[in-house]
Amino acid sequence: MKVIVVKDQQEGGRKGYEIVKRHMQNNELQVMGLATGSSPITFYNELTASDIDFTNSISINLDEYVGLPYTNDQSYHYFMKEHLFDKKPFAKSYVPDGMAKDIAQAGKDYDKIIAENPIDIQILGIGQNGHIGFNEPGTPFDSQTHEVKLTESTIKANSRFFANEDDVPKEALSMGIGSVLSAKRIILFAYGENKADAIKGMVEGPKTTDVPASALQGHADVTVIVDEAAASKLT
Ligand code: F6R
């Protein structure tokens, strides 16, 4: 894993943009895997402020809440439109269908989409408990897109975006760890002291399903972009 320590989230977003731009210029980026959350926002801001053109590219998002209408401003469909797609449209953008009647089938359909459109660069954030996507501790490393029951800690962390904790959906549809590992390259953003333990576990800890992101140790091309606080527990 390559760890790049940056001054702040602004510089992190810029570094991520530079990597993506280079691969675009080298014709190595047709399909981009995307994440929501606060960590990639400065990266999306860099993309939208740039002249980068995704109108011939495909995007595939990591996850979506189950049962939250796409018009809800906390749905990941809404987030992506607001932060990226409205300003930088792709030829086609896929986000898991958390409103599907048959969630298990929606997961299978999504795996088919990923298989037909192999991801060139996957963007990731990381949860305080080491989750990637909505893959909570205990998720098998070979998991594909699946329905997830969110843990109490993730519901708590995400409640800051909702009027109250009871409004946070309890399930999500998420690409699995195996789906994430199938990407050719991975860029993970993390900022702040509350991510320091997860970053240490991911980079230096044993490879264990207790820390889902530690699965990335088995991937050949991972770039971790962190500020000093998130990197503070690395040796
Ligand atoms: C978002 C996602 C999550 C977040 C993680 C970190 O699509 O899959 O794994 O990346 O919860 O969230 P932030 O960046 O808000 O700290």
Ligand 1: which residue has its CA nearest to atom 8? 133
**Is 83 part of any domain?**
yes
Substitution candidate for ligand 1 out of 41, 42, 84, 126 with most atoms within 8 A of CB: 126
**Is 200 part of any domain?**
no
Closest CA to 19 of 133, 126, 123, 132: 123
Measure the N-to-C terminal CA separation of the chain; round to a whole number of Å.
Answer: 14
Exposure class string for 100-130: b at 16+ Cβ within 10 A, else e: beebeebbeebbeebeebebbbbbbbbbbbb
**Is 31 part of any domain?**
yes
> What pLDDT shows up at residue 154?
81
Distance of CA 170 to the CA centre of its chain: 19
Sign, CA dihedral 56-62-66-69, equals negative
> What pLDDT shows up at residue 142?
98
Residue 111 DSSP SS3: helix
> What pLDDT shows up at residue 157?
81
Ligand 1: which residue has its CA nearest to atom 3? 133
Question: Distances from the Cα of 2 to the Cαs of 88, 131, 228, in angstroms?
Answer: 28, 19, 15
What is the domain extent for residue 29? 2-120+184-190
**Is 136 part of any domain?**
no
Question: Distances from the Cα of 175 to the Cαs of 70, 132, 205, 226, in angstroms?
Answer: 18, 9, 23, 23
Give the whole-angstrom CA distance, residue 83 versus residue 104.
28
Give the whole-angstrom CA distance, residue 127 versus residue 135.
9
Residues in the chain with pLDDT values less than 50: none
**Is 66 part of any domain?**
yes
The alpha-carbon radius of gyration of the chain (Å, integer) is 16
> What pLDDT shows up at residue 158?
84
Q: Tokens 């990266």, residue?
A: 43
Give the whole-angstrom CA distance, residue 2 versus residue 197.
17
Q: What is the CATH classification number for the domain harbouring 6? A: 3.40.50.1360
**Is 219 part of any domain?**
no
ipTM of predicted complex: 0.99
Residue 147 DSSP SS3: strand
- For residue 76, give the ligand 1 atom closest to its CA: 7
**Is 220 part of any domain?**
no
Give the whole-angstrom CA distance, residue 201 versus residue 210.
9
**Is 20 part of any domain?**
yes
Count the domains in the chain: 1
